[in-house]
């Protein structure tokens, strides 16, 4: 799981840098930022599908801890230590800021932070559940034939 964590941080930072200027300047994101946000959510959906294949229960625990710690650090960074906020926001909030602001016009706030974490967590869980359902259906089909 350590390799997964490092890859997630690198990919999130890449997508975060695409949306960084519009987030910091509080400006309207363009099509590139909106498209990159949608692609980032699709990547999380795919990551959930991959995680369901290998170690499903360990993956769920890891996923819940990852997003739970992320939510805690965002709230902690906003209210207590601002230098914690930006590194955590680049990983959790800023990568999908372009899509949320482009389609829903929500300004940067704690609500946006929690919405982004929830959206990423749910998209990964949806991918996980889709893969688990697919595996169960294929297993039952193999037994009945």
pLDDT score at 143: 62
pLDDT score at 104: 81
Are 19 and 97 contacting, i.e. CB atoms less than 8 angstroms apart?
yes
What predicted TM-score, i.e. pTM, was given to this entire model?
0.86
Q: Is the pLDDT of residue 58 over 90?
A: no
Q: Is the pLDDT of residue 75 over 80?
A: yes
Q: Is the pLDDT of residue 84 over 50?
A: yes
pLDDT score at 1: 64
Using alpha carbons, select from 95, 6, 118, 86 the residue that is nearest to residue 43. Answer: 95
Using alpha carbons, select from 3, 15, 43, 40 the residue that is nearest to residue 127. Answer: 43
CA distance 91 to 32: 18
CA distance 90 to 64: 19
Chain centroid to CA 71: how far?
A: 11
pLDDT score at 145: 46
Q: What digits encode the pLDDT tens for the residues 18-34?
A: 888 888 777 788 889 98
Chain centroid to CA 68: how far?
A: 12
145 vs 95: which has the higher pLDDT: 95
CA distance 37 to 92: 11
Are 57 and 65 contacting, i.e. CB atoms less than 8 angstroms apart?
no
- Give the number of other CB atoms < 10 A from CB of residue 131: 19
123 band by pLDDT with thresholds 50, 70 and 90 = very high
For the chain, the structural domain boundaries read 37-144
């Amino acid at each position: 799981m350590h390799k997964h964590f490092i890859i997630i941080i690198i990919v999130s930072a890449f997508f975060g840098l695409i949306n960084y200027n519009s987030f910091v300047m509080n400006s309207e994101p363009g099509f590139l930022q909106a498209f990159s946000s949608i692609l980032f959510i699709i990547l999380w959906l795919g990551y959930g599908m991959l995680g369901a294949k290998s170690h499903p229960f360990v993956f769920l625990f890891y996923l819940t801890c990852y997003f739970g710690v992320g939510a805690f650090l965002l709230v902690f960074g906003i209210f207590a230590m601002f230098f914690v906020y930006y590194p955590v926001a680049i990983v959790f909030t800023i990568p999908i800021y372009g899509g949320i602001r482009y389609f829903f016009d929500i300004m940067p706030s704690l609500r946006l932070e929690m919405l982004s974490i929830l959206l990423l967590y749910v998209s990964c869980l949806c991918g996980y559940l889709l893969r688990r359902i697919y595996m169960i259906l294929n297993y039952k089909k193999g037994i009945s034939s």
